[in-house]
Structure 1
């Protein structure tokens, strides 16, 4: 059995995967130490258990920067898998649409089905499993669901049924959403609290790298199609590729069943992330200054808008080049792969930069870059004489997108305490369902101007500008220029301010006993 919370097990003999906690750490009084089992009782192991003995260590939030490297690196494997899956599905959806339906509406339907999993999972079973069973079990469940989604592709490929591919995409999205509910928060909190945004950007750089390599491998190796092969023969070759991905998911789930990962009690999160006032104020003033829920909710909205804009750009990226830059059609894939490479570079560079400059300033810079770049694209879409500029701006836009998702995620959870952090993580992942909502709206706007495709694309592209400005742009502006939010974020993310506020009691501890369970 996996780790369970005291609430779930009645607090008696529950096996909390707590091998990373010192005996004197927060929560150790409430929770018994659970050591990794050993196969050999003669060497200090438990004869009733079946794996190896690990020494006692710390809670995730108590790890130093050096100690956090190993667990973060292990979970980063999941980010690479997520990026690789997204890249494969993007290529596969285009090929399936060409083979079966060959309409833009069908292609958007496949994308929307994948992101529909983000609407269902986070606030239902995914969030429940995470809050009650911890990070490790959530990873395992997500990997198994994703593997099932890949297996479902097999009969769909045999029958060549579009509804079947919709179901396969939905199950795959549900699995990845389940992984994300826990993985993003794990990477953020695992280590010094002032580096949440930096760690998450660096780790999600692996996701971006996976997204770069997947389309290249799919186009050149995995899903390569001989001109003489029929649709059925091509789909059979793709089936074997997805079967291999499914078995890899199951093997990775087995790996996470045994790998020792630190867990984190709600009390630990409260201690390092809770902002409280030095002197008591009336309820109205406290809400105005702290604004915890407001920061989270606008973060969910920013995530919803950003993911929608990202998917509009992804789905319509090839059309931008083929319509307005016909001289470069033969190199469309090269430009799109280069754009993904810029996104990966931006995420890694931004993550490093956040160790030196506050994340909120990087957030404002990149969100503003998205608004400006997408606005310039509108002005350049009237003629075909701006081919090079359109390609350059299209690639630059993806660079500015790079840090938005991980930075929104981490910043929006600042100041929350205990269980609320985990609920907030579920809500943040829910915001990703914007990828299922906004692309169909974009297509509907553009179709109103047919057969004048250029004018329709230009008018519909205004939606992208609005999404970047009203979502990430608005939140980035508030966290930099709203005094109470700026004070809170700096107090939680700047080392010197943090140490001062911990001494005077502005941050920590004063935990709520209702939030002191492991999840």
Structure 2
């Protein structure tokens, strides 16, 4: 279906209830930026914590698993909260929770405490889950349906802009200020050096907490348009005749989000240690963080480009092309030696760029009044990142490079989804539209 979203540039900027949706999108872009920023700080935080607490790869990736358990636990309650208080208040609650969690990270660094760190990161992830459940479907349905994939991909590009800046932020305010971050892979640090390194996260998270607090006030006072009736949760009687499980694109879409996030998180979290290996690039963690900016930079460029490409080509075809590119690159990172393996892993970031927003938009197609519930399931599927400990276990057992075979398998499923799994069945939005006209 080339040209399905060809009118993105010329469409009238109308919302379901009238008016313009562009001011709301501009404000929501700041939320996408902020949660991308906070999530990707983990890419520099994890090698830092690995050094401070002397963790193996399994223990290190378990920290990230705890982060994604937050998505699993918070997503369905988030959907219910949105139903009760509305999108805008839910966004405010999510930002408040993130602020509290970021303040907890300051406490964790001052102690220092591994368990307070885990609890604080879990709290932040619950807040982000609430933002994700609210903001992603809001962006997807606030404008014309035919441009939802391109619109969500464009706003997600600001999310990845936050990712890129987070790596620079973490590199200079965490890794560059620590003994572990400027030492070669495997260097032994004294207890005093490790405890001194632990303090390095206080300033970064103080800055994050202040910014989040300001953003909370801005969102609370903003005037965001309401969604149209076609996407509101169905009432109890109507809900009896509707089923999420009859929508193939949603069911397989949950699997695609689950495995895509596992792939993305595995690449981001293990990249610094991977590039530091003697048989790969043989560089320090701080130097590896510089190359990690290209992973997220590729995602940022890919999303801006993808939003434009999907004006002319069907999103499922674009997704299939990018999934194939990610599969080939992941296999190269697994089996090629030297710096070429590092560059292959950087390319995976470029091909990952359009995956999340495109899968999400394809998965909620045709859900109509089930959009909120479907979105809750999709955001819950982000918990796939919790299985990154499997990749850590493979790294401990077979070597870090072989762990990226897990990434390749995830890309293969996304390719399947793009080619077949995303096809819409039982379009509920058409049914609601007919009922509204009658």
Task: Tell me the TM-score range normalised by the shorter chain.
Answer: 0.7 to 0.9
Deviation at 1:325, TM superposition (A): 4.6
Residues 367-423 of structure 1 show CA distances to partners (whole Å, capped at 9, x for unaligned) of: 12122222233332xxx4xx24212211111110110001111110001121x1000
Closer/same/farther in 2, CA of residues 69 and 59 from structure 1, 3 Å limit: closer
Closer/same/farther in 2, CA of residues 403 and 477 from structure 1, 3 Å limit: same
Indicate which of 372, 375, 391 corresponds to 1:425. Answer: 375
Look up the match of 1:263: 226
Q: Distance in 1 between matches of 2:154 and 2:415?
A: 22
Closer/same/farther in 2, CA of residues 507 and 324 from structure 1, 3 Å limit: farther
Indicate which of 261, 265, 274 corresponds to 1:307. Answer: 261
Q: Which moved more, 1:230-239 or 1:427-436?
A: 230-239
Q: Distance in 2 between matches of 1:163 and 1:448?
A: 26
Written as runs of structure 1 = structure 2, the 5 A alignment for 1:313-462 is 313-323=267-277, 325-330=279-284, 331-380=287-336, 384=337, 387-418=338-369, 420-437=370-387, 439-449=388-398, 453=399, 457-458=401-402, 460-462=403-405
Query: Retained in 1: the 8 A contact 2:256–2:359?
Result: yes
Q: Which moved more, 1:228-237 or 1:303-312?
A: 228-237
Quick one: higher RCO (CA 8 Å, sep 6+), 1 or 2?
2
Indicate which of 79, 89, 94 corresponds to 1:127. Answer: 79
Q: Distance in 1 between matches of 2:435 and 2:233?
A: 8
Q: TM-score, normalised by structure 1?
A: 0.72
Closer/same/farther in 2, CA of residues 395 and 326 from structure 1, 3 Å limit: closer
Residues 7-66 of structure 1 show CA distances to partners (whole Å, capped at 9, x for unaligned) of: xxxxxxxxxxxxxxxxxxxxxxxxxxxxxxxxxxxxxxxxxxxxxxxxxxx9843557xx
Look up the match of 2:115: 163
Query: Retained in 2: the 8 A contact 1:270–1:511?
Result: no
Which of the pair has more CA radius of gyration?
Answer: 1
- Structure 2: gaps (5+ residues): 1-12, 181-191, 235-240
Q: Distance in 1 between matches of 2:43 and 2:260?
A: 18
SS of the residue aligned with 1:323? coil
Deviation at 1:172, TM superposition (A): 0.7
Look up the match of 1:249: 212
Query: Retained in 2: the 8 A contact 1:146–1:171?
Result: yes
Closer/same/farther in 2, CA of residues 160 and 354 from structure 1, 3 Å limit: same
Written as runs of structure 1 = structure 2, the 5 A alignment for 1:87-98 is 87-98=40-51
Query: Retained in 2: the 8 A contact 1:150–1:242?
Result: yes
Look up the match of 1:24: none
Query: Retained in 2: the 8 A contact 1:266–1:417?
Result: no
Written as runs of structure 1 = structure 2, the 5 A alignment for 1:232-247 is 232-247=195-210
Residues 291-327 of structure 1 show CA distances to partners (whole Å, capped at 9, x for unaligned) of: 8522111101110011111112122212332336544
Q: Distance in 1 between matches of 2:64 and 2:231?
A: 38
Q: Distance in 2 between matches of 1:137 and 1:405?
A: 25
Q: Distance in 2 between matches of 1:238 and 1:322?
A: 22
SS of the residue aligned with 1:391? helix
Indicate which of 122, 139, 156 corresponds to 1:204. Answer: 156
Query: Retained in 1: the 8 A contact 2:280–2:341?
Result: no
Closer/same/farther in 2, CA of residues 465 and 209 from structure 1, 3 Å limit: same
Indicate which of 112, 123, 131 corresponds to 1:179. Answer: 131
Look up the match of 1:68: 21
Deviation at 1:511, TM superposition (A): 4.5
Q: Distance in 2 between matches of 1:101 and 1:221?
A: 20
Q: Distance in 2 between matches of 1:317 and 1:90?
A: 8
Q: Distance in 1 between matches of 2:278 and 2:341?
A: 8
Closer/same/farther in 2, CA of residues 397 and 188 from structure 1, 3 Å limit: same
Q: Which moved more, 1:222-231 or 1:359-368?
A: 222-231
SS of the residue aligned with 2:116? helix
- Kindly tell me the number of residue pairs found equivalent between the two proteins: 407
Deviation at 1:224, TM superposition (A): 4.3
Indicate which of 136, 140, 143 corresponds to 1:188. Answer: 140
Query: Retained in 2: the 8 A contact 1:62–1:191?
Result: no
Q: Distance in 1 between matches of 2:208 and 2:361?
A: 30
Closer/same/farther in 2, CA of residues 102 and 239 from structure 1, 3 Å limit: same
Deviation at 1:328, TM superposition (A): 5.0
Written as runs of structure 1 = structure 2, the 5 A alignment for 1:472-511 is 472-478=414-420, 508-511=433-436
